[in-house]
Amino acid sequence: MSYAAAPVPVRLPIWRARFVLFAFVSAFAVLLGRSLWLQAVQTGFLQERGEARYSRVLEVPATRGRILDRRGDALAISTPVKSIWAIPEDLKATAAQLRQLGQLLGVEPRELERRLTGTSRDFVYLKRQIPPETAARVAELGIPGLYQQREFRRYYPGGETMAHVVGFTGVDDIGQEGIELAFQASLAGASGSRRVIKDRLGHVVEDIEAIRAAQDGKDLRLALDSKLQSLAFTALKHAVETHKAKGGALVALDTRTGEVLALANVPSYNPNNRARLTGAQLRNRVITDLFEPGSTLKPFTVALALDLGQVTPETVIQTAPGRLTIARHTIHDAHAGGAMSVAQVIQKSSNVGAAKIALSLPREEMRENFRRVGFGAPPQLGFPGEAAGKVREARTWRPIEQATMAYGHGISVSLIQLARAYTAFARDGELLPLSLVRTDMPVAGRQVLSAETARAMRAMLEAATQPGGTAPRARVMGWRVAGKTGTAHKLENGGYASHKYIASFVGFAPASDPRLVIAVMIDEPSAGQYYGGAVAAPVFAQVMQGALRLMNVPHDAPLTPIELPGEGEEAREST
C-alpha cells in the first residue's frame, strides 16, 4: 500500500508580492492622474473634439440691400437661391443618379465625375445659384455626400436701361461694376453664424444657438429717375441706330441739387444675363470715356474774356475771310461770316472768332479757368473708373494750341465733366457738386464765374438754339432752351481722322430759370449727318421735353409748334 507524498508548501519571496502591489498601485495612480488631467486640464480640448463630430457652425448669409430709384422703385433686389456642393469622398451615387443630377444642374455626367474625382479637395461646388425648386428636386435624389447652401442672387428689373448705373454683382454677391461696386460696403451687410447639431448624414437635427446675428445690407436710394432714365435710353438708342453710330452717351443733372437724374449709354447689356458680355458693352461712356469736346468749349473761353473785361457781348470780332493762319497752321470756319459780335461768335460757332478771343487772354488764366469749372479732375462721384481728363500746363502751349483750345481741341473731357461745367452758366456762376444718391435739398455751389457773366452767357447760348444758330433742333415747345453744339474730329493714331466725328450738344432749360442740364454725345455717326446740331441736339430736345413734363416745370415760352429747319438750312458749327 503506497501513500501520496504531501505537497510541499511554496513560499514566494516577499519582494514579489510587494512588487505586484506596487505595480497595481502605480497603474491606478497613473490612471487617476490621467483622469484628473483630462477632466480638469484638457476639458476644453476634449469637448471641442467631441463636438467636432456632431456640432457645426453654419454661415447665415446677410441679405444685400436693395437699390432704389428716387421714387422708391426697385433697381436691384436679392432673390433666394441654392448652391449644390459635395464632399467627394463621401458622395455615393449610382450612374443613374449622376445622370439625373446632371440633367437637373445642366452639367454633363462626365463633367460631374471629373469634378468629383479629379480633385484632392474635401469640398467642391457642383452648381451655384440654382432656383429653390430645382434644389428641392436635387434633394429628392437622396444622394449621400451631396449638400445644399442657401445664397442670394441679384435681379435687375431695369435690364439694359439701368445697367451702366446699377452695375452687377458676381457669383459670390460682391459688387463688380457700377453702384453695386461703389457702395459695396453698405449694400453687402455682414454675414452671421449659428451653431447646429448634424447627424452622420449631414442633416441638421438641432439648432443650438446664434453665435452672431446677420446684419442685412442697407437699402440705397439713388437720385436716378427711372422714368426719365428709360426715356433717355430709348432716345439715345434710336439716335445711335438711326445715324449708324459706334455708340452714344447722355447725362441729365438737376441744377438745384446736383443730382444725376439720368445716365444712359449705348451699347448696353442685360445684367441679368451676362453670358456674352463684351468690353464695349461694359464701358460707361458718360464717366470713363474722354473726348475732345469741340465747340461746346467755346462758351468758357468767351466767359473768361467777359470776366476779365476783355470783351462784351457786343464787341465786334473780324472773322473774315473765314480763316486764320498761325505759323504753318490754318483755322477755318464752316462759313465765312465777316465782322461778328461776341454773341454771334457763340451763335454761329465761329472758330476764327473764338481763336482770336483766346489769343487775347493770358495762357495761365485760360488754363486756370478750365480747371475751375472741373476739367482735368475727376468729378468726385465715387463711381468706378471716373476719368480726370487732361488739361496741359499753360507753359507748354504754343499760340496755335491756345487758339484751338478755345474751340475744344487739345483738351480731353468726359461727358459728365462737360455737363457739370454747364451748371455754372445755369446757376449764375456757381459750379455744383454732383451726387448719384438722392439728396432732395438744394446745395451750395462754388463760384467760378461772376453772376453777370453767367447771365450774359445764358442769353448767348439761348440765341444759339434760335433760327440762325447752330442748334434750332434743340428747341422744345413751351420752354426756352439754351445750349451749344459741338462737332470734333476723332483722334486716331496720333492725328485727327478725316471722316470720324464726335457730335455733341450740352444745354439747359428753361432758360429763364434753369432746372435741368442735359449733355448728349454721339460717337462716330456714319449715316451722312455728323454735326452736333443735326445728330445730338434732337436727342437733347426729346429728353428735355419729357423731363420737364415729368417734373411739372412751368412753361416760359408759348405752346406753339416749333418749325424745324429743312436739310442744310441751320447754321453749322466749324469742326
Supply the pLDDT for residue 106. 82
Q: 246 to each of 175, 360, 460, how far by Cα in Å?
A: 28, 38, 32
Give phi and psi for 496, each to the nearest 5.
-95, 130
Q: List the Cα angle 469/474/479 in 5-degree steps.
A: 105
Question: pLDDT at residue 210 above 70?
Answer: no
Average pLDDT over residues 267-286: 87
Q: pLDDT digit string (tens) for 524-543? A: 999 989 999 999 999 999 99
Give the pLDDT score at 260.
Answer: 97
Catalytic residues: 295
* Angstrom distance (rounded) from CA 571 to CA 403: 22
The 3-state DSSP class for residue 1 equals coil
142, burial (CB in 10 Å: exposed 0-12, middle 13-18, buried 19+)? exposed
* Closest by CA position to 435, among listed 240, 282, 235, 253: 253
What are the pLDDT digits (tens) for 287-301? 999 999 999 999 999
Distance CA 565, CA 11 (A): 137
Query: What does DSSP assign to residue 39?
Result: I
Q: Which residue has the higher pLDDT, 176 or 568?
A: 176
- CB 255 within 8 Å of CB 265: no
Find, among 180, 136, 132, 178, the residue nearest to 154 by Cα: 180
Residues 64-112: tens digit of each pLDDT: 899 999 999 999 998 888 888 787 777 777 778 888 888 888 888 777 7
Q: Measure CA 201 to chain center.
A: 45
Cα separations (Å) of 486 from 342, 483, 531, 566?
18, 10, 7, 20
User: The C-alpha cell of 371 is what?
Assistant: 480747371
Q: Which of 466, 455, 403 is nearest to 425 (CA)?
A: 455
In 3D, which of 553, 520, 549, 552 has the Cα closest to residue 537?
520
Helix (H, G, I), strand (E, B) or coil at 545: helix
pLDDT bracket for residue 419 (50, 70, 90): very high
Tens of pLDDT, residues 164-206? 999 999 878 888 999 999 999 999 877 766 665 655 555 554 4
Question: Which stretch of 116-130, 197-211, 278-292, 558-572 has the lowest confidence by average pLDDT?
Answer: 197-211
Is pLDDT at 1 greater than 60 in this prediction? no
Q: Rounded CA gap, 434 and 427, in Å?
A: 14
pTM value > 0.85: no
pLDDT digits (tens, 9 = 90+) for 396-417: 999 999 999 999 999 999 999 9
Instruction: Identify the CA nearest to 450 among candidates 345, 519, 377, 369.
Output: 369
Q: Kind of pairing, strands 495-509 and 516-523?
A: antiparallel
CA gyration radius for the chain?
37
Which pLDDT value is given to residue 277?
Answer: 78
Residues in the chain: 575
Q: What per-residue confidence (pLDDT) applies to 129?
A: 80
Residue 517 to residues 52, 190, 507, Cα–Cα distance (Å): 63, 39, 6
Share of the chain above pLDDT 70, in %: 87
Return the closest-CA partner of residue 303 out of 291, 313, 314.
313
Q: Which fold has domain 226-270+281-550?
A: Beta-lactamase (3.40.710)
Worst-scoring range by mean pLDDT, 39-53, 239-253, 319-333, 367-381?
Answer: 39-53
Burial of 460: CB neighbours in 10 Å, binned 0-12, 13-18, 19+: buried
Query: What Å distances lie between residue 447 and 306, 433, 450, 479, 498, CA to CA?
Result: 15, 12, 7, 27, 39
Say whether 356 sits in a helix, a strand or coil: helix
CATH dotted code for 57-111+125-221: 3.90.1310.10
Let me know: does 139 contact 148? Beta carbons within 8 Å.
Answer: yes
| Long-range contacts (CB closer than 8 Å, 24 or more residues apart) made by 388-393 | 389/290, 389/413, 389/414, 389/417, 390/290, 391/367, 392/367, 393/367
> Can you give the pLDDT at residue 46?
57
> Which amino acid is residue 175, in one-letter code?
G
Give the residue extent of every domain in the chain: 57-111+125-221, 226-270+281-550
- Give the pLDDT confidence of 299-350 residue by residue, as tens digits: 999 999 999 999 999 999 999 998 999 988 899 988 888 899 999 999 999 9
Give the pLDDT score at 47: 62
The three three-digit cell numbers of residue 1, written as one number: 500500500
Cα gap 265→271, rounded to integer Å = 14
Q: Between 164 and 569, where is the model more confident?
A: 164
Of residues 236, 161, 175, the one with CA closest to residue 522? 236
